[in-house]
């Protein structure tokens, strides 16, 4: 992007995904291939589907709640507000909401997220939701 702009997002655009979480794409535009930002919400007791992103580094920036993140071969790690999880391209990942309130985090992708880079690798099989 080469110009200043203010984007005002509508919370009504939140969608439930096959990954078992709610997403609002705050910024994802072909005019800015370098980055995308989504707000993710996982309800208490839910674990997202194990997946990876091809060719994209993702960062989870935890805003609210408590969770347990599993990334690649790292031991599961408890995360909370202010924590950042860096997930290199092609590394399996998932997160569980271990708290009593919604787990809310930003998913910042570089380059930007596109549907064709997402690969569901959940051992329970491919979701058809």
Decide if 84 is inside a domain: yes
Indicate which CATH number applies to the domain containing 77. 2.60.120.10
How many structural domains is the chain composed of?
A: 1
pLDDT per residue, tens digit, the chain (129 aa), is 668 889 888 888 899 999 999 999 999 999 999 999 999 999 999 999 999 999 999 999 999 999 999 999 999 999 999 999 999 999 999 999 999 999 999 999 999 999 999 999 998 765 444
Which tokens hold the place of 102? Answer: 């919604």
23-55 burial: b if 16+ Cβ within 10 Å, else e: bbbeeeeeeeeeebbbbbbbeeeebbbbbbbee
pTM of the model: 0.91
Residue 128 lies in a domain: no
């Amino acid at each position: 992007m080469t110009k200043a702009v203010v984007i005002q997002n509508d919370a009504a655009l939140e969608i439930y995904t096959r990954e078992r979480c709610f997403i609002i794409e705050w910024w994802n535009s072909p005019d800015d291939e370098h980055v995308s930002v989504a707000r993710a919400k996982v309800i208490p007791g839910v674990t997202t589907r194990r997946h990876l992103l091809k060719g994209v580094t993702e960062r989870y920036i935890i805003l609210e709640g408590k969770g347990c993140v599993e990334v690649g071969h790292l031991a599961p790690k408890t995360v909370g507000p202010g924590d950042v999880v860096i997930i290199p391209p092609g590394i399996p990942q998932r997160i569980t909401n271990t708290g009593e309130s919604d787990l809310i985090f930003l998913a910042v992708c570089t380059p930007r997220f596109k549907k064709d880079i997402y690969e569901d690798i959940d051992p329970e099989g491919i979701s058809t939701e």
